[in-house]
Amino acid sequence: MEKLRRSKYLYICFGVHILPILVMYFITCFYLQYVKFWEYSIFTFAFSLPLLSSLYEVVEKRRGYFYYLLSILFFLGFVGKFSMHEIFRYDYVEPIGFFKFSRESVSEVLLIGVVGAVGFFLSEMASKKLFRSREVSRLEDRKNNVDWRGRVLFLFITAVLALVNLKYNVLLFGVVPSIQLPLYGNIIFFLILTRGMGFIYSFHYLNKLSIIDIAIGSMIMLLASVGVLSRMFIVVYFLVVFIVFLSNVRGGSYRKKVKGIIVTFISFLLLSSFTVLVSSQLRQESTATSNSLFIRSVEIVRNLDRSDIRNMMSSYIKLAVDRWIGMEGLMAAASYPNKSPRLLIEGLLEKSYKGNSFYTKVSSPNLGKKNIAANLKISTSVPGPIAFLYYSGSLLIVFLGMFLVPLGLYTMLYYSSNFAALGTFSSAYISSFIAFDFFQFGISPRSFVAYTVFTIVCMIIYMGLYSKFYKNGDTSAKHS
């Protein structure tokens, strides 16, 4: 009976994923403009395969969160974005360099994407062979901390850090910092606010799925998102919640857990919409003083009206399609005339950027030259890993990079998560940030490496201290 019940749940999970893919696929087939039916079919299948394969690992094995999340992001950035633009025929939002739409050029882009997707899928297959056990801790049955003072303290500290950042501009998206802290203090402050607070909270208070604790965590991530003018951290958090529901819903009352999923989904829509509204408006006013941003964050909330809500919904819908990295970067890289292994190395050696990244000369060559000459600061788009690897002009490098780099990152996550004795939620939480870092790869690669290493090292240090002072994580006296 239990085996039949598990199989039924697995079929439901696959159905929920496959149905929207098929609907989008068949609709898009009627609107294909530049490529043939079989080319789009291979393209869709190549990105769907790792998604469904990693879904099985999440549901049945409670592992592979990193690959599952990356599969979702790649599917949205490539298949989802391409399909929406084919159906509705509107211009791509991000710059696409020298790219000219034609049968040959679009087919080339889809081919490059397929090669990257195949490399990624084989990487996920290799991870299954190399790591057969779960990356979650043997302590995964630990219950949530019952101390409500800790929950209140986490909310308070996050709110203070967010307000300090809005007022003094330690590190805001799209804004030059107003102050420079020593010893990379700006970056450390940013990582503590956006990653550290959520990770520590998830480790102590989200070992078991609890609607109240999930709601408090969502408020923490909302404050962190608005506090750095981001619209993504709240999305990351709810993706983690969704993944944990997938891997834990088999046991217990189905009715209770379906109710939890519905409540969580409604909370996601409300809080992510609110984050888009506030962060987007503050970004538009980022040329103002930091103090103005601090005051405006309060005024926006206090003076909400119908026009603000309409603007919010419009921005939300656009972001739902065009925020994901993928097609534009690949179009820009494919059309760039000077691709070579040397160009790839130059991109890898980029240390940092101030408005004009190395990718600017690929995606917006004329704009980049104009603004560099005028010494102006502009915001920059991101190529993504597949496009970045194609700087080389080699499909083999794209394949090898998409095979080896995700496998290396997963290996690091696997051993560090086991060493740190993480539970399901905290393991998925860390995996999500490493996945998003890789998904947004291509701007200042050294920063990506530094962010990833710093995140993992700090997690290990914290867990090492926790284990030392709490007898290797045995906190039964402190947990109900």
In a domain, 231, yes or no: no
Question: pTM of the full predicted structure?
Answer: 0.88
Of 233-237, 369-373, 377-381, 396-400, highest mean pLDDT:
396-400
Cα–Cα nearest to 44, from 21, 27, 12, 71: 21
Of 84-88, 133-137, 246-250, highest mean pLDDT:
84-88
Whether the per-residue pLDDT at 35 is higher than 80: the answer is yes
In whole angstroms, give the CA distance from residue 420 to residue 423. Answer: 9
List the domain range (segments joined by +) for residue 88.
Answer: 2-130
In a domain, 70, yes or no: yes
In a domain, 33, yes or no: yes
Confidence of residue 423 (pLDDT cuts 50, 70, 90): confident
In a domain, 67, yes or no: yes
Summarize pLDDT for 172-192 with one digit per residue, the tens.
877 778 888 998 898 899 999
The count of domains in the chain is 1
What region does 472 belong to: left with phi over 0, alpha with psi -120 to 50, or beta?
A: left
Confidence of residue 262 (pLDDT cuts 50, 70, 90): confident
Between residues 337 and 266, which one has the greater pLDDT?
337
Only one residue has tokens 């956006």, namely 194
Q: What is the pLDDT of residue 316?
A: 62
In a domain, 65, yes or no: yes
Cα 124 to its chain centre, rounded Å, is 18
Between residues 61 and 477, which one has the greater pLDDT?
61
In a domain, 94, yes or no: yes
In a domain, 476, yes or no: no
Q: Are 165 and 384 in contact (CB under 8 A)?
A: no
Summarize pLDDT for 125-173 with one digit per residue, the tens.
999 988 876 545 443 445 666 678 888 999 999 999 999 998 888 888 7
In whole angstroms, give the CA distance from residue 261 to residue 296. Answer: 34
Q: What is the pLDDT of residue 289?
A: 47
Report the percent of the chain where pLDDT is more than 90: 37
How big is the CA angle at 376 (ends 373 and 377), to the nearest 5 degrees? 130
In whole angstroms, give the CA distance from residue 450 to residue 53. Answer: 30
- Mean predicted confidence (pLDDT) in 453-464: 86
In a domain, 105, yes or no: yes
Whether the per-residue pLDDT at 227 is higher than 80: the answer is yes
